[in-house]
Amino acid sequence: MKAKAITTAVAAMLLAAGNAWGVVQYTVTKLDTSGTRICIPTAINNRGQVVGYTQVNQGKDRAFIWDAVNGFRDLGILGNGTSWANAINDMGEVVGDASSTNGSDAFIWDKDNGMRSIGSLNPVKTVANWSYAYGINNAGQVTGGSWTGAKYHPYIWTSGVGMQDITPSSSTQATGKAINSQGTVAGYSFLPAYKAFVWDSVNGSRQLGDPTGEGTFALGINDVGTVVGWLFRDNGVRNAFVWNASDGVQALGGLGGLRSDSWAFSINKNGTIVGSVNDVNGIGHAVIWDGGSLLDLNSLIPSGLDLRIWTATGINDSGSIVASSFNASGQWEGLLLTPIPEPATLSLLALGGLAVMRRRRLRR
């Protein structure tokens, strides 16, 4: 069989499998099966561990970690009874912030040592510190924002070294929001203007550009340095964007093109982006941008679940997504969306198809 015929046969096999399995493109797992808590997931790692926060007794938020084997685990508190988990790496180390007697403390958590403060940039430790942790990479480097005693600055934190101030030279106040495996931080300034930036230890910080001049906010970064976030347009609409060093800032638009509000929160190594858009009625829809296509995640899950997914906040390299929904009772629910078929399944199918074709050719 000729190479073109082999390619066509494999493509047909993959298309048939996609049509057969693609009717339901994601399975849906509810993270809290008790139905008694508000559950907001924020991030997922490549092991399928999910973090976020739930609202429990007296309406206080508590950080959690979840996995398919152990279910929910409360990560605890540092002082005043509230905590929020914002990111997790592949070792299961979690970062976030917790209220304390001195304000808010950025924390790191692991299963052996529990929750512990990573300090702040404020040299006066007896007054309000106000530090927050938003991102962690697999080397254990953390980024976030901290009150210095006079300003709010972004930082990179490393165990044994502590916090390093990485404020962009063009800013007076800013925050870090995400960090990749190379130690590159993505974030944004908010004084004197809203400007997205990236920082690394070799080149320092640089702004990503602002095509509308109205403000940009970086929220996620993958391991090849592609950044996602959102920007203001001159008509007041917010648009999701993606940035890379060669193409600059590119608006992603929403269900109504560039005229509808949209936000991008997370990007995986393959460049797949998740976030949220508002429809013409202002109702939020969780979405995925993949290969230039925008898809409503509500159309890619089984029918009859009686819920609406309104935002997607995290995606891992296998394509699993964490999202928040409203159920029929109007309560927030946390969801894990798992792709069907998984990318590895299609790859194996392709290899299997090629093997079949090769065997057929050898027999001739």
Each residue's pLDDT tens digit, 339-355: 997 554 444 444 444 33
Q: What residues contact 355, with CB distance under 8 A and at least 6 apart?
A: none
The region of weakest confidence among 4-8, 21-25, 181-185, 318-322 is 4-8
**Torsion sign, CA atoms 80, 82, 87, 90:** positive
Each residue's pLDDT tens digit, 61-103: 999 999 999 999 999 999 778 999 999 999 999 999 999 877 8
- DSSP-assigned beta bridge partners for residue 307: 327
Q: Where are the domains of the chain?
A: 1-22+343-364
The pLDDT of residue 2:
35
pTM: 0.86
Six-digit token pair at 88? 């997790």
**Model confidence at 304, in pLDDT bands (50, 70, 90)?**
confident
- Cα–Cα distance, 319 to 200 (Å, whole number): 27
Beta strands in 13-113 (DSSP E): 26-30, 38-44, 50-55, 61-67, 71-74, 83-88, 94-100, 103-110
Burial status of residue 354 (CB atoms within 10 A of its CB: 0-12, 13-18, 19 or more): middle
DSSP string, 148-176: -SSSEEEEEEETTTEEEE---TT-SEEEE
Average of per-residue pLDDT values in the chain? 85
Residue 15: is its pLDDT beyond 50? no
Each residue's pLDDT tens digit, 43-53: 999 999 999 99
β-pairing verdict for 94-100 and 83-88:
antiparallel
The pLDDT of residue 147:
94
> How confident is the model over 53-66, as a mean pLDDT?
84
Nearest CA among 159, 246, 231, 166 for reference residue 202: 166
Q: What residues contact 153, with CB distance under 8 A and at least 6 apart?
A: 121, 145, 146, 165, 166, 167, 173, 174, 175
> How confident is the model over 107-111, as a mean pLDDT?
97
Radius of gyration of the chain (CA): 22
